[in-house]
Amino acid sequence: MKVKIRPDQVVLYVVLILLAAIMVYPFLWSVTASLKTNRQIFSGNPLELIPRPATFDNYRRAFELMPFGRFLLNSAMLAILVPAASILLGSMAAYAFARMDFRGRDFIFLLLLGVMMMPGHVTLIPRFALVRKLGWINKYTALIIPAIFGGQLVFNIFLMRQHFLSIPKELEEAAFIDGCSRWGVWWKVVMPNSRPAIATLAIIGFKSEWNSFLWPNIVINDYMKMPIQVGLACLQSNMRTGWDVLMAGTTVAIIPLIVIFLCFQRFFISGVMTSGMGGR
């Protein structure tokens, strides 16, 4: 079969490829500039993406100037711990809202949903004041605990409840007959049946924690406890280091999430689909 190439298809491809180049260029530039010398960055042509000579020296200097290893470790810890806690607590509450009858259930649920209407910045200052009063400034607790209790938790409750409502009740009833408690049913029957939903929420949470900046920037100024985005901003304010080292730091901050994205693309996509209600 002969494939005929229609002219409108050619135009479409040209536009799509041009757009893809614009979308990808900043990433390519960041990676390649991180391998260039400052001299090439400043005297070269910005379209020239090949480092000549290629050097890992910028990475060495970035890691020497700032504890980038710690930054990465801190961010990985946050991006795993916070969503894990949020999904666990969210699923617990969601299960009660989906399957149990108790006084004030609908009212409490409505009250929680209201949190999603609230932009995080209204609570920024009182949260900071509270954390300061508790003596958590510059401690991991300040990074973790307030991060768990926000819009994302409510979003998780909302979504897990939707999901639990779609699981057939017969599954649980069989477990009750076998003598399982509410907690047992939740943990052994309902949760294992929710793996795709959990994975989607874990990815949304990982992404938002990996990228979180404003809150950690306020509560942490100890380098050893900084997450990566805050550390990167600190490297920037120390601009004497130059663009070569800065781009090495930027690349270090971007690459882990890109790798996770390429591995778990479908969960990122389902994350967007489910977040029509405004969770992010």
Partner 1 sequence: MTAWSFILPAVIGLGVFVYGALVYSLYISFTSWDLLSPAKWVGLANYARLFRDESFHQCMYNTLYFVVAIVPAGLVLAMAMAVALNRPLKGVAFFRAAYYMPSITSAVAIGLVWLWIFNPDQGILNTILRALGASYPPRWLESTRWAKLGLSIMRLWQVSGYYMIMYLAGLQNIPNELYEAAETDGATPWQKTRHITVPLLSNTTFFATVMLLIEVFNLFEAVYVMTEGRPGGSTNTVLYYIYTEAFQSYRMGYASAIAWVLFVILFVVTLVQFMVRRRNERVG
Q: Which of residues 80-119 bind partner 1 (CB under 8 A)?
A: 89-90, 92-93, 95-97, 100-102, 105, 108, 111-112, 115, 117-119
For residue 160, which of 125, 118, 114, 112 has the smallest C-alpha distance? 112
Choose which of 23, 110, 177, 263 interacts with partner 1 (CB under 8 A).
23
Indicate the residue among 3 and 177 with the shorter CB distance to partner 1: 3
33 binds partner 1 (CB under 8 A): yes
How many residues sit close enough to partner 1 to count as binding (CB under 8 A)? 89
Q: How far is CA 242 from CA 35, 38, 121, 227, in A?
A: 13, 7, 33, 21
Whole-angstrom Cα distance, residue 196 to residue 193?
8
Whole-angstrom Cα distance, residue 114 to residue 278?
12
Q: How far is CA 9 from CA 18, 21, 57, 262, in A?
A: 14, 18, 45, 28
124 binds partner 1 (CB under 8 A): yes
- Interacting span for partner 1 (CB under 8 A) from 62-70, 76-84, 163-171, 207-215: 207-215
Q: How far is the CB of 39 from partner 1 (least distance, A)?
A: 12
Indicate the residue among 119 and 168 with the shorter CB distance to partner 1: 119
Indicate the residue among 59 and 210 with the shorter CB distance to partner 1: 210
Chain residues 232-261 in contact with partner 1, contact rule CB under 8 A: 232-233, 236, 243, 246-247, 250, 253-254, 257-258, 261
Whole-angstrom Cα distance, residue 113 to residue 116?
6
Whole-angstrom Cα distance, residue 93 to residue 157?
6
Q: How far is the CB of 233 from partner 1 (least distance, A)?
A: 6
Q: How far is the CB of 262 from partner 1 (least distance, A)?
A: 8
**Neighbouring C-alpha atoms within 13 Å toward the C-beta of 82:** 30
| Continuous segment of H or E residues that includes residue 190 | none
Backbone angles phi, psi at 228, to 5 degrees: -60, -40
Choose which of 14, 42, 184, 188 interacts with partner 1 (CB under 8 A).
42
Choose which of 50, 129, 165, 224 interacts with partner 1 (CB under 8 A).
129
Give me the sign of the Cα torsion angle 214, 218, 219, 223.
Answer: positive
Chain residues 164-203 in contact with partner 1, contact rule CB under 8 A: 182-183, 186
Chain residues 141-160 in contact with partner 1, contact rule CB under 8 A: 145-146, 148-150, 153-154, 157
Give me the sign of the Cα torsion angle 260, 262, 267, 270.
Answer: positive
Angle at 107 between CA 202 and CA 147, to 5 degrees: 30
Q: How far is the CB of 223 from partner 1 (least distance, A)?
A: 16
Site string for partner 1, 54-83 (x = CB under 8 A): ------------------------------
Choose which of 5, 47, 110, 177 interacts with partner 1 (CB under 8 A).
47
